[in-house]
Chain A
Amino acid sequence: MVFSASRRRHNSYTLAPLILISVNVLLFLTFFVWPAIIGLAYSFTSYTGVGDAPWVGLENYQELIGDADFYAALWRTLIYTACVVPLMFVMSLGIAYLLVSPYAKGKPVARVIFFLPWLISPIIAGVIWRWLFGENFGLVNFVITELGGDPVSWQSNGDLSLMIVVIVATWAGTAFNMLLFIAALKNVPVSYYEAADLDGANAWQKFRKITLPAIAPTSFIVMLLSTLHAMKEYTYFVAVNDGGPGTENNLIVQYIYETGFKRAQIGYASAASFVLLLILVIVAVLQLIASRRKGS
C-alpha cells in the first residue's frame, strides 16, 4: 500500500505537470522557436517566399543601414512612441486617481464611459476619429469654421495625421492601463495618507511623496508595456489614414508588412524584423535598468 502510493506519487509528479504543459510546449516550439530560428536564417538570404533562398550573408543588414525608407519609418515610430507613452501614462493615472478618489461623484457611470473605448477594435477606433477629423465633412472642422476659423488639414498634413493617431491610441489604450493603476492605487495603505494629513501635507505633496512611490512597480509595467506596444503599432495608422499622407506615416511594422508581403522580400523583411526585435529588447533592458536604479 505504502509502496504503491509512493510509486504512483513519484510517477505523477513528473508525468502530471508534463502532460499539463505539453500543449503549451508544443505551441511554443511551433509558433515561437521555429519561426524565430528560420526568421533569423532567412534574414541572411534573399528569399522571396517561393523557391530557393540564396545566401547573401549580411547584405540585407547593410542595405537596411542605407535604406532611407527604413530610417523614415523608424524615426516616425520613435516620434509616435515618445508622444503616445507619456500622454497615455498621464491620462490613465489621472483617471484611475479620480476613479478611486472619495470626492468624485458618479463614478460607476464614468467608469463604464472610460472603459468603452477599450472594447472597440483599433480599426473601428481609427474610423471613429477619422469621421470626427474629416477635412471636408468632419465635426471638428465644422466647429472650427463655425467659430470663425479656417478648416484644418487633418488628413493631408503628416504631423497632424500622426497627432490624430496619438489621440486615438491614448483614447483606446487608457482603460487597460487604468485598470492596472486602479488596482495599484487601492493597495496604497490609507494610514500613509492619514499620517501625512497630520503633518499638514497638501494634495500634491501627498501624491508626489506617497502615491507615486507606492505605485512605482505598476508605473514601470505601464511604461514598459505601452512603449513596446507603441513601437509595434500598425492598425491605427491603417484605419486613420492608411499610413498617409503618402507614405509619411508608414511605421516600422507597416514597412515590414509592405516589404515582406506586398513585395515578397521575405529575407529583407526578416532582417528588418530582427532590427525591430533588437530595438525592443534594448528598450526593455534600458527601462529595467532605469527602474532598478530608481528603486535602490
Chain B
Amino acid sequence: MAASRSRTGDLPKKIGSSAIMWLLAVFYGFPLLWFVVSSFKPGGELFSYPLTFWPKNPTLEGYSEAWTSFDFPGYLVNTMIVAIAATLLTIMVSAACGYALAKYGNWWLKVFAGCILATTMLPTETILAPLFLVVRNLGLYNSLSGVVVPAVITATGTFMFRQFFVTVPNDLLEAARIDGSSELSTFFRIMLPLSRPIILTLAIFSFQWRWNEYLWPLIILNEPSQFTLQIGIAGIVGANNVNWSILISASVLSMVPLVAIYLVFQKYVMNADINAGLKD
C-alpha cells in the first residue's frame, strides 16, 4: 500500500504523525512515570522545593513502610483470592453459556440471551442497596465470596464466547456426535480447548476488573481482615493527613501483578476482537 503512494509526500506525514503520537504518548505516560519515580524518594524529599525529577537519595523506605504499616500482605492475598476465583468462575460460566447460545436453537435460549443483554442495562450501581440485602440474606456479607459470586455473570464474557463458538464449524460437532461423544463431553473435551484464545483474553479482562473493583467490595466487606487492596489504599487516601510516602509505594506495589500479567499476555489483549463480544 505504501509503495503505491508517491514517495515525496511521505516524509512530512511520517514526521507529523510520529510527532503527534509521541506527544500524546508523553501525556499518557508521564503521570505514571512521575508517580513511580516519586515512590523512590524519601519522605522529606517528596515535598522539598524545588522539585526534582530523579530522586536525589533513592530509597525503598516507602515500600518497606507500606508493607508493614498497614496490612498490605493480607489485602494482597484477599485481592488475589477474589480476582482468581472470580476469573475462573467467570470463564467456566461464560464459556458454557456462550457455547449453548451459539450451538443450540431452543427458543428459551434466545429469551435468555436477551436477559443477559439486559444485565448490561441494569448495572450493579442501580441496584446497589437491594443487591446488598440479597447478598446479606444469603449469608455472604463480610466474606470474600460475597464479592466474587455476584460478579460471575458477565454479559461481555458470555457474548465473547458465543461469537467465537458461532465461527466453529457445525461439522465438528456433528462428527463428535457420530463418534458417540455426549454433548457435554464434546463441550469439555473438544470445544473448550479450542477456545483457548478467548479464555486467555477473558481471563486478563476479568482479572483486571476484579483486581481494580472498589465500590462493591467496599459495601460487602466490613472487617479490615477481609479488605482488598483498593479499599485499603482508599483508606489511606481518606485519612485526615494523607501519608503520601506510604500511599505512593502501596499504589505502585498494587499495580505490579497486573502489569506483569499484561506484559506476558500482551498479544492476546492487543488482538482481542472485543467488538465481537459487545456488538451482539
B219 CB within 8 Å of chain A:
yes
Whether A174 contacts B129 in the complex (CB less than 8 A), given A38-B134, A101-B17, A106-B18, comes out as: no
Inter-subunit contact A17/B109 (CB<8 Å): yes
> Nearest-CB distance from A285 to chain B (Å)?
10
Whether A104 contacts B104 in the complex (CB less than 8 A), given A31-B150, A128-B32, A256-B128, comes out as: no
Inter-subunit contact B29/A116 (CB<8 Å): yes
A130 to B238, CA, bound (A): 12
> Nearest-CB distance from A287 to chain B (Å)?
12
A194 to B234, CA, bound (A): 53
Taking residues whose C-beta sits less than 8 angstroms from the other chain, chain A's interface range is: 35 or more
A14 CB within 8 Å of chain B:
yes
B230 CB within 8 Å of chain A:
yes
Q: Chain A residues with Cβ under 8 A from B131's Cβ? A: 31, 35, 39
Q: Chain B residues with Cβ under 8 A from A183's Cβ? A: 273-275
Counting chain B CB atoms within 10 Å of each CB, the highest count among A16, A112, A242 belongs to: A16
Inter-subunit contact B129/A266 (CB<8 Å): yes
Contacting residues of chain B (1-42) with chain A, CB-CB under 8 angstroms: 1-2, 4-5, 10, 13-14, 16-18, 20-22, 24-25, 28-29, 31-32, 34-35, 38
B119 CB within 8 Å of chain A:
yes
> Nearest-CB distance from A21 to chain B (Å)?
5
How many chain B residues touch A (CB < 8 A): the figure is: 97
A180 to B279, CA, bound (A): 11
A-B contacts, 10 listed (Cβ < 8 Å): A21-B100, A28-B119, A28-B153, A32-B118, A94-B24, A98-B24, A119-B259, A171-B28, A217-B279, A257-B219
Q: Which residues of A pack against B, CB within 8 Å?
A: 9, 12-17, 19-21, 23-25, 27-28, 30-32, 34-36, 38-39, 42, 49, 91, 94-95, 98-99, 101-107, 109-124, 126-132, 137, 139, 142, 146, 171, 174, 176, 179-180, 183-184, 190, 194, 197, 203, 217-218, 221, 225, 228, 232, 234-235, 238-239, 242, 253, 256-257, 260-261, 266, 269-270, 273-274, 276-277, 280-281, 284
Q: Which residues of B pack against A, CB within 8 Å?
A: 1-2, 4-5, 10, 13-14, 16-18, 20-22, 24-25, 28-29, 31-32, 34-35, 38, 46-47, 49-51, 92-93, 96-97, 99-101, 103-104, 106, 109, 112, 115-116, 118-119, 121-123, 125-135, 138, 149-150, 152-153, 158, 177, 182-184, 187, 208, 211-212, 214-215, 219, 230, 233-234, 237-238, 244, 247-248, 251, 254-255, 258-259, 262, 266, 269-270, 272-275, 278-279
